Amino acid sequence: MKKNTQTFRFRSAALVAILAASSLLSGCGALIVGGAATTAAVAADRRTTGEQVEDKNIEIKIAVEMNRMFGENAGKARVSSVSYDGKVLLVGDVPTQEDKAKVESTVTRIENVKEVINRLRVGDITPLSVRTNDTWLTTKVKASLIDAKEVPARTIVVTTERGIVYLMGKVTETEGRMAAKVASGVTGVNEVVKLFTIVARESLVGESVAPSSTTATPATGSGTAAPAPSGDVQAMPVK
């Protein structure tokens, strides 16, 4: 009975992703897959509708692959993915370093994945209490971004894992810097990691943008990943 319940957890993640994809054009909402807290707003998103749908398709495919990989041992692994314009963030817990590398290799081969940032942790599954706190932190960070001036909160995806806040989205350099500063000021946040795609301000006319650079590369020593543009994952100290 326990085995069936664990396998269902991964299948449920895939179902949640499918439902999220089907509701893309109807509004915005919160999505929790595998235990990482993620908030994505569709309204005013700087991705095209096609890009948003493709990102959800990528997340669905990853959920299916993770079910195949860990379905029989779901109680020992928790893999969450967030895709933004083909850039995939992986967070969660896996039993071994080999599993971590295998997950990344599998995700890298999925169609339309441009880059993989592998932040999976090797060890036991993060306690429910910590994951619940991560969900609360995501809510607080998103609310703070909405309240902040000159921060395009509705195009920023917030993911929190063990107190570390990851920010993804298409923003200008100034917007990205301000968003990270706001997130770092939220009580309980341990670290802020910027995974933004930086765009030129002039490209935002009519919200039609073309990325000029990115501020993220795959995490060092995380296994095989798709080639990344120049730049580094930027971590911002908290207050």
pLDDT digits (tens, 9 = 90+) for 208-239: 433 444 444 333 333 333 333 333 456 655 54
66, HSE (Cβ side, Cα atoms, 13 Å): 36
What's the whole-number average pLDDT of the chain? 79
pLDDT of residue 22 exceeding 70, the answer is: no
Write the DSSP symbol of residue 48: -
46 class by beta-carbon count within 10 Å (0-12 exposed, 13-18 middle, 19+ buried): buried
Please give the residue that has the higher pLDDT: either 14 or 206. Answer: 206
Query: What's the pTM?
Result: 0.73
181 class by beta-carbon count within 10 Å (0-12 exposed, 13-18 middle, 19+ buried): middle
* Percentage of the chain exceeding pLDDT 70: 67
Please state, in angstroms and rounded to a whole number, the distance separating the CA atoms of residues 67 and 13.
9
Neighbours of 177 (CB within 10 A): 16
185 class by beta-carbon count within 10 Å (0-12 exposed, 13-18 middle, 19+ buried): middle
User: For residue range 99-147, what is the model confidence (pLDDT) as tens digits?
Assistant: 999 999 999 999 999 999 999 999 999 999 999 999 999 999 999 999 9
pLDDT score recorded for residue 202: 87
| DSSP one-letter string for 105-156 | HHHHTSTT--EEEEEEEESSPPPHHHHHHHHHHHHHHHHHHHHSTT--GGGE
What would the two tokens of residue 115 be?
């880059």
Q: How far is CA 105 from CA 67, 100, 195, 230, in A?
A: 15, 9, 20, 21
pLDDT score recorded for residue 213: 43
User: For residue range 49-62, what is the model confidence (pLDDT) as tens digits?
Assistant: 999 999 999 999 99
pLDDT score recorded for residue 212: 41
Name the residue among 21, 28, 2, 115 with its Cα closest to residue 61: 21
Please state, in angstroms and rounded to a whole number, the distance separating the CA atoms of residues 118 and 225.
9
- Per the DSSP assignment, residues forming a β-bridge with 83 are 88
pLDDT of residue 20 exceeding 80, the answer is: no
172 class by beta-carbon count within 10 Å (0-12 exposed, 13-18 middle, 19+ buried): buried
What would the two tokens of residue 220 be?
């060092």
